[in-house]
Chain A
Amino acid sequence: MKNRFRNALAIAAASAIALTGCSDPGADTGSDGPVTWPAQDADLSGTTLTIWAAQNSNTVPDSVIAGFEELTGAEVEVVTIPDPYEQGVQTKVATGDKPDLAFWQPTASQLTALNATQNLQPLDDAPWLDAYQPELRDITGILDDTRYATLITTPAVEGVYYNKEVFAANGITATPTDWDSFLQTARDLKAAGVTPFHEMAADKWATQWWVQVQLADAAADGLWDRVNANEESFTDPTIQGAIDNYKALIDEGLFNEDIKTATFEDQGAALLAGDAAMVMQVNSFFGQLQSLADTEELNQKIGFFPISPSGNTGTFIPDQSNALVAFKTGDEKREAAARQLLSYWMGDGYQDFVNAQSTVSLQTGVETPADVPEALLTVSESVGTSVGSMQALAIANPDLYLYLADMIQGTKTPAEVAEATQSQFAELAKAQGAEGF
């Protein structure tokens, strides 16, 4: 009897394993071949397209979808993937679940994370490319010379948001022109009794901007290429130096006293109220300010300037709400329909889209609406001359922000931050099969 039982168990186990298979369920060769671009108004009755979006981007496509559905008869569904969005999408894609389109950070590291060559449709000869302003056309969305992502809104730039009234009250008439004058301004403000900088270490993610803007000159000089090839590391003087500087500025007392417990919400409120003069942030911070004040108040109070060691070069970091990718789903009809939706979005639907979103237009032939706040215009003007961030240029995106937050909390030294970041970077690069790791 015991033997029989054992046999049954063995058979059940064997068949279960056979059923499950040992292959990666995310593997899908998809359809490769010459890509056609259907006309924007081709009939799509009976076709349903799915767009994955995050909690902060799920209403972005509304105007486009309404226009597209009316024009083509297609049905477009937006599915919200809960935060953390990137993890959620990667996990779903790894298990074989794919939408037709998804919001996605158009950087090389994040495209690699989605295994773009396997999972995404190449968009190399898309009809809208020539409509872009020339300096924005190839700024991002490209991995190994193939275009996989479509930039729909102006990418975020790391730089300094400042309170104009605080500057004026302290006799500061011109914004800083390089890193030294930037720090001088901060020290002058501190001497006058104002908190120069505000940081939000409780929410962690913004800590990395301070390190990245200090690397702008080095990034222009190929820093991330060297890091990608394992010729330079986070522990070498360039990046380690930027981390050390950040720590020194905090120790000097240039930041808010509650730096360890302050949150993203606190940061917006503090800058708007003038409790702090400057905040090193990206565009989503301005979105936070917009939820607290109207355009008129923001124009009056809030300004922006990019900063780098030698001047005012911005550091751009496109995020998930700035771009879309189209998936290889294996269904040729839906793949073509997804391309058609993108054509419409960046074509006839684009003016409506920038109007509805009150955002800066990326195209020469499409006007930026008048109600875009001034600070956002300044941000967008700096994109053309800016350099890529770690996320944009490095092949992997280690949790630098997390380790920096640990440093602010006092559980890591600057040297340990660099070590932890480098070892995680190496781990990710090795998993990608990058040369030199």
Chain B
Amino acid sequence: MLAKGKAGPRRQDHPLWFLIPALAVLVVFFLVPTVFNFVYAFTDWSSFKSAINFAGVDNFTSLFSNGTLVNALKVTLVYAVLVAIFQNAFGLGLALLFEKDTRVNRAVRVAFFVPVIMSALAVGYIFQALLKPDGALNGIIGWFTGTEVSIPWLGSTTWTIVVVAIVHAWKWMGLSMLIYLAGLKTISEDVLEAARLDGAGRWTMFRSIRFPLLAPAVTFNVATALLGSMNGFDIVQATTEGGPGGTTELLNIFIFRTFGQGLFAQATTMSLVLFLLVTILAFPVIRFLRKREDVL
């Protein structure tokens, strides 16, 4: 396999077969599992018997005829959109707030980045404790209003998904902030000065100059937040476990539950559906966001 002689000197320094170790790791840990994700979805693999037989599209038909999967898909999409909105709003807000390189701002940026490196489960459990009817948040509100407050923040079948999306966004907003900060730094001082000379105020400057020029950062942040939170599991599992009444049951929580029942093939089928959904969604979203970058 070694390239001999004819290839240029660069080729001799970097023979292709040097790729094999990395490639092997990639194949074993990424390619094969992905392929198996496709294969097992068409079998009857379960904890109940040792044999694995081909089952055709049986898993798909039974999954789609059952309302739970459609509900979980809906919840997942709503959750992802909410996370994308909140995480970017928070991240951009923080970036603008701490844009100047002062000593205080640097320290505060670190503080807001800390949740990003925290364990998601720990974050979930902390918020679960804070948001309990007799938790700290109600205690604080009660202290200010002087009354007994016992709002079940995680108990509403309508609003809990918004609350958990905010928790998710809170955890990751530090990362978005960092990327927006980097984006703000790349904006040329000349452009800003020109705008100032033209008499642009702070708001016009942001709306017409800085935000459009942040397009690459927006692309990255929106795409990762949206597509990343479609794979969400840990925070929601720790705060609500999919409740109340299944209104925060993300697809991954549903997969976890199905896998726990011993229905491995069905769980695999669902994760394949999730994979396809993310893929299908990724192309138009990224394409649309890239289009915005044409102003650059």
Contact = CB atoms under 8 A, between A and B. Distances in A.
A and B are partners in one complex rather than unrelated chains = yes
Contact of A433 (B48, B246, B247): B48
Contact of A7 (B1, B48, B67, B243): B1
Interface in B250-267: 256-257, 259-266
Nearest to B265: A431
A410 interface: yes
Interface stretch (B14-22, B183-191, B195-203, B211-219): B14-22
Interface stretch (A19-27, A71-79, A182-190, A350-358): A19-27
Interface string A340-364: 0000000000000000000000000
B48 A8 contact: no
Given A260-B152, A409-B157, A433 B23 contact: no
A174 interface: no
Contact of B24 (A16, A201, A204, A410): A16
B49 A420 contact: no
B264 A94 contact: yes
How many chain A residues sit at the interface, stated as a range, is 35 or more
Contacts of B27: 9, 12-13, 16
B155 A202 contact: yes
Contacts of A86: 260
Contacts of B23: 8-9, 12
Given A1-B3, A1-B7, A411-B246, A113 B16 contact: no
Interface string A389-425: 0000000000100100110111110000000100110
Nearest to A262: B133
A13 B31 CA distance: 8
A20 B32 CA distance: 9
A433 B49 contact: yes
B28 interface: yes
A427 interface: yes
Contacts of B20: 8, 12
Interface stretch (B39-47, B105-113, B162-170, B226-234): B39-47
Given A4-B16, A13-B31, A428-B261, A423 B157 contact: no
Interface centre among A9, A114, A409 (most CB of B within 10 A): A409
Nearest to A91: B259
A17 B32 CA distance: 7
Instruction: Summarize A's interface: helix, strand, loop or mixed.
Output: helix
A260 B263 contact: no
A80 interface: no
Interface string A44-60: 00000000000000000
Contacts of B139: none
Interface in A251-278: 258, 260-261
A6 to B, nearest CB: 11
A93 interface: yes
Contact of B52 (A24, A402, A412, A427): A24
Interface string B113-157: 000000000000000000001000000000000000000100101
Contact of A204 (B19, B152, B243): B243
B208 interface: no
A411 B247 contact: yes
A29 to B, nearest CB: 8
A4 B17 CA distance: 10
A310 interface: no
Contacts of B102: none
B51 interface: yes
B260 A260 contact: no
B62 interface: yes
Contacts of A114: 47
Contacts of B204: none
B245 A432 contact: no
Contacts of B36: 20
A428 B68 contact: no
Contacts of A410: 157, 245
Given A1-B7, A9-B23, A16-B24, A113 B47 contact: yes
A348 to B, nearest CB: 35
Interface of A: 1, 4-5, 7-9, 12-13, 16-17, 19-20, 22-24, 26-28, 84, 86-87, 90-91, 93-94, 112-115, 118, 201-202, 204, 258, 260-261, 399, 402, 405-406, 408-412, 420, 423-424, 427-428, 431-433
Given A113-B261, A118-B50, A261-B152, 14 more contacts: A1-B16, A8-B23, A12-B23, A12-B27, A13-B27, A22-B39, A27-B50, A94-B264, A258-B133, A260-B155, A406-B246, A411-B157, A432-B48, A433-B48
23 contacts: A5-B16, A7-B1, A8-B20, A9-B23, A12-B23, A12-B24, A16-B28, A16-B31, A20-B28, A26-B47, A28-B50, A91-B259, A113-B48, A115-B47, A115-B50, A118-B50, A202-B244, A405-B244, A411-B245, A424-B261, A431-B44, A431-B46, A431-B262
In the A-B complex, the 10 residue pairs with the closest CB atoms: A409-B245, A411-B245, A87-B260, A27-B50, A431-B46, A432-B48, A409-B244, A261-B152, A406-B245, A261-B155
